[in-house]
């Protein structure tokens, strides 16, 4: 099992708050890994720390054998990491097409990936001229994921994809993420354990800023005690 | 469509009311007065727009309220004046300027040298500061001794005021060229290049961050460096012929050169300001306000010490200065043939430069910037960044560089406004302040970060002011009485603020502002 991304003992502060107090995560290549944990445990901050949006003060982040902590966010992203933030942050004043085009890292990325993106999310093709602000929640989520697929990314960081979506849409989404994980490694933050367990092959549990458990999802599903202790509402 | 009307009902009512007032104002005057007032309003509106649009784009993307924007408008005017009226001075300044700039083209070389650990540990911390000190020392020694043909602020006959006056009369007499007396040219050149290399090295290392990534040495940096040096030497060797050529150059072309130089210097000044002073303060908004306010005061004092305190004029380019045969022109074609300063439009007499040229440039900039925002990748990144900078950065886009470009664009637009305004309203140290105030009111009316809002607000402010001024002369008859109300001059600025208050009471985000 090759490790694509290795996070070693990172500590991250937001303002004066010590949010991450030692997170170790190993992301195997070519699989979906879910970051699990209760609200405020530090899952989103872990994603943002990998990307340098909230730079870690201590610890190392190694992506494809290269230390990336301390680099600027755009440089980290340009190494091949795509980010889908929570709350579906599509650009409201840009059309759907512009939302995709802006993610080009090389000229021609968008035309090249167009077919792939529209097979995954057929709805987007029809909405291409609409402004981001006019999309429904589900459409925005599709667009946010599609945007991360425009450039050649080996790793996708997806934050809370199912949040606030109707069950029908969640099913569609699970299918799409499954499909795209054939080409790239995915790290998923997911509150909804049902969704996470359907998607992910590996899991990491984060509790109060520390990574406390990691392993294979199929083992976790059996392990009622761990689920009860870390994931169910306290 | 129904949804659109329902959502924007207030806006439509306000716009209709404004149009009604406008129509009523138009009824009250003769057609010729109305046309002149309208065009004057467009003119003031255009200049206001040049300040407001830059201010608004900078605020939208960077969250920086650049209170120095009016001062930069004024500095643009003074730079433009210098190029237009004293090309010899301009050329003399260009040479040391290019030399100082040249070293920065080798930035990649310095960064990669630093990265290869040629000087590690303590040396890496001390060397840049030492280098900076040396560079500043060299500059302090050489620059005051470098010969620059200039004017005298104290001697009235050689002051900008007199020079402008004479130039306006067509007496374009440049003083004899200066020569190297206090310092040998070789020493001056060598010293400036040295200072540039050492200074650029220090600043690259200091500003390079912890892990500069792209620092491959490319031939391009050496080629840029060499071209700049060659350029400086060529200008130096052919200084006198170029000066003479510029001096006898068609005044219109020289004016164009002045416009371009002012915009370019504004953009450069803007990018320097952003990358050195404002960048460290993005996390401290209050400090930014203090910084830009302070820079504004510093800018005004610097201009006072260099160009003097009194106001002076900038001659209009020949294209707009004719008064002889065939003038005032009967039509635009007549103006083109005789280069008249005025023309007759609907029985009224208008000044071509103020009332036709400035609004035209305003319209060109309006469309140009709109195309930039809507049709280019940079514009796309700006529009996206206004909403969510973090996400743009996470896509692999260097937002900081875009910040610098946007600041340069905004200040460049302000400088363009300044140099455009100079032949019309003259130069003074405080000419920018009233335009900054106008621009702020225009943005409050139109919507702070909305580009169309900046245009609409500027237009309204310009029109309102000019109509009030005109009615100050002809008076407003009050219905059912014999009284005539004549707005006094203090009502002019007050009226725009009143309009702002009314608009904000009804639409708190301005006419076209986004609802938060």
Question: Quick check: B396 and A105 CB within 8 A?
Answer: yes
Instruction: State whether residue B211 sits within 8 Å of chain A by CB.
Output: yes
User: How many contacts does A have with B, using Cβ atoms within 8 A?
Assistant: 67
Question: Quick check: A71 and B211 CB within 8 A?
Answer: yes
> To the nearest whole angstrom, how far is the Cα of B401 from the nearest Cα of chain A?
11
The sheet with strand A58-63 has its strands ordered as A17-28, A3-14, A58-63, A66-67
Instruction: List CB contacts of B42: < 8 A, sequence separation 6 or more.
Output: B355, B358, B359, B362, B459, B462, B463
Handedness of CA A57, A59, A62, A67 (dihedral sign): positive
DSSP letter, residue A228: I
DSSP letter, residue B329: B
Backbone angles phi and psi of A200, in degrees to 5: -90, 150
Is a pLDDT exceeding 90 seen at residue B416?
A: yes
Q: What is the mean pLDDT of residues B443-472?
A: 91
In a domain, A232, yes or no: yes
In a domain, A151, yes or no: no
In angstroms, the CA B90 to CA B370 distance is 32
The sheet with strand A210-216 has its strands ordered as A81-84, A155-159, A185-189, A32-36, A202-207, A210-216
Question: Quick check: A102 and B387 CB within 8 A?
Answer: no
Residue with tokens 């599709």: A142
In a domain, A41, yes or no: yes
- Tens digit of pLDDT for each residue in B57-102? 999 888 889 999 999 999 999 999 998 888 888 888 888 888 888 8
**Contacts of residue B213 in chain A, CB cutoff 8 Å?**
71, 75
Most B-contacting residue of A74, A147, A152 (CB-CB within 10 A), to test interface = A74
Q: Are B470 and B501 in contact (CB under 8 A)?
A: no
In angstroms, the CA B17 to CA B19 distance is 5
In a domain, A88, yes or no: no
Residue B184 CB burial class (10 angstroms; 0-12, 13-18, ≥19): exposed
Of residues B363, B291, B290, B351, the one with CA closest to residue B321: B351
Instruction: State whether residue A103 sits within 8 Å of chain B by CB.
Output: yes
**Contacts of residue B400 in chain A, CB cutoff 8 Å?**
72
- Tens digit of pLDDT for each residue in B490-504? 888 889 999 999 999
Most A-contacting residue of B115, B387, B395, B449 (CB-CB within 10 A), to test interface = B395
Is a pLDDT exceeding 80 seen at residue A80?
A: yes
Is a pLDDT exceeding 60 seen at residue B413?
A: yes
A38: domain CATH number is 3.40.50.300
Question: Quick check: A74 and B396 CB within 8 A?
Answer: yes
The domain of A75 spans 1-80+185-234
**Contacts of residue A147 in chain B, CB cutoff 8 Å?**
395
Is a pLDDT exceeding 70 seen at residue A203?
A: yes
- Alpha helices by DSSP H, listed for chain A, are 43-51, 73-78, 96-101, 109-120, 122-126, 137-150, 167-180, 193-199, 217-222, 224-226
In a domain, A12, yes or no: yes
Backbone angles phi and psi of B450, in degrees to 5: -95, 125
Instruction: State whether residue B378 sits within 8 Å of chain A by CB.
Output: no
Is a pLDDT exceeding 60 seen at residue B210?
A: no
Question: Quick check: A51 and B394 CB within 8 A?
Answer: yes
- Omega before B268 cis (within 30°)? no
Is a pLDDT exceeding 60 seen at residue B215?
A: no
Give the pLDDT score at B212. Answer: 47
Is a pLDDT exceeding 60 seen at residue B135?
A: yes
Is a pLDDT exceeding 90 seen at residue B238?
A: no
Question: Quick check: A94 and B380 CB within 8 A?
Answer: yes
Q: To the nearest whole number, what is the mean pLDDT of chain B?
A: 85
Task: Give a three-class secondary structure readout of B111-134.
Answer: HHHHHCCCCCHHHHHHHHHHHHHH
> To the nearest whole angstrom, how far is the Cα of A211 from the nearest Cα of chain B?
24
In a domain, A222, yes or no: yes
**Beta strands at B348-351 and B342-345: parallel, antiparallel or unpaired:** antiparallel
Question: Quick check: A53 and B386 CB within 8 A?
Answer: no
- Strand-pairing partners, residue A60, are A8
Nearest CB to A91 within list B387, B393, B398? B387
Question: Which value does ipTM take for this structure?
Answer: 0.90
In angstroms, the CA B429 to CA B10 distance is 41
Q: To the nearest whole number, what is the mean pLDDT of chain A?
A: 88
Instruction: State whether residue B381 sits within 8 Å of chain A by CB.
Output: yes
Of residues A131, A149, A147, the one with CA closest to residue B374: A131
Handedness of CA B67, B70, B71, B72 (dihedral sign): positive
In angstroms, the CA B391 to CA B304 distance is 44
**Beta strands at A155-159 and A185-189: parallel, antiparallel or unpaired:** parallel
In a domain, A201, yes or no: yes
In a domain, A215, yes or no: yes
Domain total in chain A? 1
Instruction: State whether residue A78 sits within 8 Å of chain B by CB.
Output: yes
How many other C-beta atoms lie within 10 A of the C-beta of residue B301?
Answer: 11
Q: Are B347 and B366 in contact (CB under 8 A)?
A: no
> To the nearest whole angstrom, how far is the Cα of B384 from the nearest Cα of chain A?
6
Instruction: State whether residue A101 sits within 8 Å of chain B by CB.
Output: yes
Give the pLDDT score at B79. Answer: 94
């Amino acid at each position: 099992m090759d490790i694509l991304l290795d996070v070693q003992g990172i500590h991250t502060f937001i303002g004066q708050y010590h949010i991450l107090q030692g997170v170790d995560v190993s992301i195997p290549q070519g699989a979906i890994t879910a970051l699990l944990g209760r609200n405020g445990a530090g899952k989103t901050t872990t994603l943002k720390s990998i990307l340098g949006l909230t730079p870690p003060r201590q610890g190392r982040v190694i992506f494809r054998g290269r230390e990336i902590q301390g680099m600027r966010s755009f440089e980290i992203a340009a190494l091949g990491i795509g980010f889908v933030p929570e709350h579906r942050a599509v650009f409201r004043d840009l059309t759907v097409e512009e939302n995709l085009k802006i993610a080009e890292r090389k000229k021609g990325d968008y035309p090249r990936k167009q077919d792939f993106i529209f097979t995954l999310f057929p709805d987007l093709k029809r909405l291409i001229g609409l402004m981001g602000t006019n999309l429904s929640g589900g459409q925005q989520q599709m667009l946010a994921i599609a945007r991360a697929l425009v450039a050649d990314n080996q790793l996708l960081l997806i934050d809370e994809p199912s949040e606030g979506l109707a069950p029908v849409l969640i099913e569609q989404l699970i299918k799409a993420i499954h499909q795209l994980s054939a080409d790239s490694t995915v790290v998923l933050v997911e509150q909804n354990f049902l969704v996470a367990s359907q998607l992910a092959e590996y899991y990491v549990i984060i509790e109060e800023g520390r990574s406390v458990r990691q392993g294979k999802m199929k083992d976790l599903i059996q392990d009622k005690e761990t689920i009860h202790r870390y994931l169910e509402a306290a | 469509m129904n949804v659109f009307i329902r959502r924007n009902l207030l806006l439509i009512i306000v716009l209709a009311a404004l149009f009604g007032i406008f129509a009523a104002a138009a009824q009250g005057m003769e057609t010729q007065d109305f046309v002149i007032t309208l065009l004057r309003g467009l003119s003031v509106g255009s200049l206001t727009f040049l300040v407001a649009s830059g201010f608004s784009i900078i605020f939208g993307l960077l969250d920086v309220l650049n209170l120095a924007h009016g001062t930069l408008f004024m500095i643009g005017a003074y730079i433009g004046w210098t190029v237009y009226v004293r090309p010899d001075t301009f050329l003399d300044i260009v040479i040391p300027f290019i030399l100082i700039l040249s070293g920065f083209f080798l930035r990649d070389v310095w960064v990669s040298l630093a990265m290869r650990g040629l000087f590690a540990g303590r040396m890496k911390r001390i060397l840049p500061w030492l280098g900076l000190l040396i560079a500043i020392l060299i500059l302090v020694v050489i620059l005051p001794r470098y010969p620059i043909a200039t004017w005298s602020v104290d001697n009235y006959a050689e002051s900008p005021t007199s020079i402008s006056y004479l130039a306006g009369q067509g007496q374009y007499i440049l003083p004899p060229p200066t020569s190297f007396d206090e310092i040998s040219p070789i020493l001056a050149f060598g010293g400036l290049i040295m200072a540039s290399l050492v200074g650029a090295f220090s600043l690259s290392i200091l500003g390079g961050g912890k892990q500069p990534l792209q620092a491959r040495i490319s031939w391009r940096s050496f080629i840029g460096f060499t071209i700049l040096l060659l350029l400086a030497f060529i200008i130096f060797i052919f200084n006198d012929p170029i000066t003479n050529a510029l001096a006898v150059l068609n005044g219109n072309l020289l004016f164009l050169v002045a416009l371009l130089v002012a915009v370019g210097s504004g953009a450069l000044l803007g990018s320097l300001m952003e990358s050195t002073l404002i960048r460290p303060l993005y996390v401290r908004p209050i400090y930014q306000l203090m910084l830009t306010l302070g820079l504004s005061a510093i800018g005004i004092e610097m201009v006072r010490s260099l160009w003097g305190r009194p106001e002076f004029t900038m001659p209009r380019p020949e294209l707009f200065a004719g008064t002889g045969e065939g003038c005032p022109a009967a039509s635009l074609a007549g103006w083109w043939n005789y280069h008249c300063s005025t023309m007759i439009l609907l029985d009224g007499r208008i000044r071509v430069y103020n009332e036709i040229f400035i609004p035209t440039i305003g319209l060109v900039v309006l469309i140009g910037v709109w195309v930039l925002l809507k049709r280019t990748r940079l514009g796309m990144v700006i529009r996206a960044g206004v909403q969510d900078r973090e996400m743009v950065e996470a896509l692999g886009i260097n937002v900081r560089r875009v910040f610098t470009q946007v600041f340069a664009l905004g200040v460049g637009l302000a400088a363009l406004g300044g140099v455009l305004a100079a032949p019309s309203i003259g130069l003074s140290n405080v000419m920018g302040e009233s335009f900054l105030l106008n621009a702020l009111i225009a943005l409050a009316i139109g919507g702070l970060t909305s580009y169309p809002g900046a245009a609409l607000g500027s237009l309204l402010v310009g029109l309102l002011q000019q109509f009030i001024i005109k009615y100050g002369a002809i008076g407003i008859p009050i219905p059912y009485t014999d009284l005539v109300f004549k707005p006094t001059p203090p009502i002019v600025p007050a009226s725009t603020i009143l309009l702002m208050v009314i608009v904000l009471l009804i639409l708190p985000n301005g006419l076209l502002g986004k609802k938060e």
